[in-house]
Structure formats: structure tokens, C-alpha cells
Amino acid sequence: MHLLKLILRNTLRHKLRTLLTVLGLLVAILSFGLLQTVVEAWYSGSKAAAPDRLITRNSVSLVVPLPVHYRDKIRGVDGVRSVAAANWFAGVYQEPKNFFPQFAIDAVPYLAMYPEYRIPEDQLRDFMRDRKGAVVGRKLANTYGFKVGDVVPLKGTIFSGSWEFVVRAIYDGAASTTDTSQFFFHWEYLNESVRTRAPQRANQVGVFVVQVSDVARAAEISKSIDAQFGNSAAETLTETEQAFQIGFVKQTEAIVIAIRIVSFVVIFIILAVMANTMAMTARERMSEYATLKALGFGPGFLGGLIFGESLAIAVTGAMLGVILTFPVADWFARQMGTLFPVFEVSMHTVWSQAVCAAVVGVAAALLPAWRAAQVRIVDGLRAVG
């Protein structure tokens, strides 16, 4: 108890220095948490992928379409439970900065494959009946103020022209990590319109989403699907949904690595600041440590004082940083709109923040504690400043 009181008094002896050090730790831990959350948000799509879903695309490139009649052949492969066509639409809503994912889908099989999308039954029925109907995610609806019944105009980029869709349903996620920033509409409507506007582009599909009956056979079924179209004009590449999502992340992997490096550089910088603070503190109190030694207190007691003070400062800064990470992350997610479909501070990030703070607290006290333990009584009492 006496040791804890002494640690507290030492910590508050130089209030301004302690306050500035705690503030620096707060900013560092907060920055570390936000940067780690950005990295996790980047990988959120692959983490949410289901193991029983495969993606079949053109083996040349994702931008090269596949004939729609492949759907029936894929459905006939042993182990395939369901198949749905999907096209990336990439329309512009009002202005180019309003980006959100838009997909033309085989509505019935596609939505059945994604039970994590929770759609009210009456709204789902209305969507199925309306060829111009659209399903939007809750986050997307909140970002742009979409309501059921609203008409959403999109200017085509891949598919030229002006397009109008009617919001017939708004879906929620089964979990907080479910992507609710997407916009879905009927593939049949897209295909019918393209057949009129550009007949040569009709009956083409961007990808097929395939649901398998046995997850253990996913690799085998993928090979069987691709074998169906070997040596054809449009060969296919089938992979798990997770591998497909990771493929997108790898295109920007350098950015992700840079963010990770920066997050740890922030921790290293605050470690240097913290170490300097503790070194100054120990140097100023060298005569006190010598006096305590003369009174019979051992090196362990002196080390406990320094480690205790360093950890007290680190823990205080870390707690404040962790607490502020959540509201700041919420604010950041609102500012980003649908750029990050899932932006949530995970417990893994919180534990990482705590571990980093503990490492900083211990590492910053190592050298000062060793010096205090090694000081000779005569030299310490002779020290000034």
C-alpha cells in the first residue's frame, strides 16, 4: 500500500510533464487503434465470405464477361446446389463522389445464398414483382436518405444511359460485420435494356455466384466447373468467395502494408517520448534513490517505483485512448460514407492497444530502473539535478 501511494505521488509530482506524456500516449493509442481498424475494414469482405459460396469469372480478367448460358452448365455440375448471375453496374448517383456498390443479380437464387441479408417479407415480395425494383442496405439508405418507394436515378458508366430504380426493400445485416452498403436490382431488367440499347452486349454476365452442397468439396467442384469450359472461347476461373475478395485486397496490398507500418511507427515514437520522460525523472531523483538505499530499501523497491510510475502513466493514456477510439471511429465511419462498408473497432484491436501500452510502459522504465538499482549511495548523494 505504501509503495502504491509513493508511486501515485511520484507520478503527480510534475503534473504538467505527466499530463503531456499522458496526452501523447492517448493520441498514439488512438491513432494506432484507428489505423488498425482501417486495415481490418479493408479485409472485412474476405472475413465475411461464406465457405459454401464460390465465384466463377472469366479466366482472362474480371472485366471480360461470360455467356449467360454457362449458368445451366454450372448448375449441372455435381455438388452445385444453386447458381446466380451477377453484374457490376458502376452507375453514378448525382455526382461521381457518391460511390456505392451496385449489382444486377438473379434475385431469387442470389438472395437465398446470402441469409445474412435480412429483408422484410412484404418488401421482398414487392421487390420481386417490380422489374425496376431495388434492394438497398441499411447503411446505404441512411447515408443518402433512401426510403422505400423512392426513385433512384443512376447514370450508367459501363452500361451507358440514364437508369431509374425504385427502392422496394431495405435490408439489415444479421451481424454488425455484414455489409449493408450495397444496391441490388434485377439482372433481367439490365439484360432487357441492354438488348435494346446495345444488342451485342446482351446475355452476358460478370460473374456467377455458386453455392455448393458440401464445403469439403469446394476445391473439387471448382475444378469441375472450370473443366466444363476448358479450351472454350471464354474459359473460367472458379475460386472461393474469400479468395475472390482477397484478390481485390491484394491489388492495394502496398497501401495496407504502409498503414500497418505507420501504426507501429506511431507506437515506436511514443515509446521514445516515454523513455525520455522516465530517464529525466530517474535522473532528477537519483539522490532520493541513494537515500532510500541508505535507509535499507533494496534495488527491487527502487525498480518497483520506476516501473510503477511508468505503467501508471501508460495505463492512464491507454485507457483514455481506447475509450476515445470508439466515438472517433464512429465519426470517421460517418464521414467515409459507404467507402468502408464495415468499420468497427474489434476486440482484437482493443487488446492490441492494451498490449502496446504495456510494452511502452515496461520498455520505457527498463534503463532508468537499472540505473537506479545500480547507483552507489555515495555517488547518488553527491548528484545534483
19 part of a folded domain: yes
Domain coverage including residue 15: 2-44+252-382
Average pLDDT of 15-42? 87
CA R_g for the chain: 30
239 part of a folded domain: no
pLDDT of 185: 96
Average pLDDT of 250-271? 82
Number of domains forming the structure of the chain = 2
pLDDT of 112: 93
pLDDT digits (tens, 9 = 90+) for 278-334: 877 777 777 766 677 777 777 777 777 778 888 888 888 889 999 999 999 888 888
Question: 286-294 and 347-374 helices cross at what angle (nearest 10)?
Answer: 70
274 part of a folded domain: yes
Of 207, 234, 261, the one marking the end of a domain is: 234
pLDDT digits (tens, 9 = 90+) for 163-203: 999 999 999 998 888 889 999 999 999 999 888 888 888 88
Average pLDDT of 53-58? 93
Residues 67 and 112 in one domain: yes
**Rounded Cα–Cα distance for residues 374 and 299 (Å):** 8
Residues 22 and 154 in one domain: no
Residues 75 and 191 in one domain: yes
- Which of 85-89, 130-134, 362-366 is predicted least confidently? 362-366
105 part of a folded domain: yes
pTM of the predicted protein model = 0.78
**Rounded Cα–Cα distance for residues 319 and 4 (Å):** 19
Higher pLDDT, 199 or 8: 199
Residue 126 CA: distances (Å) to CA of 32, 130, 172: 45, 6, 17
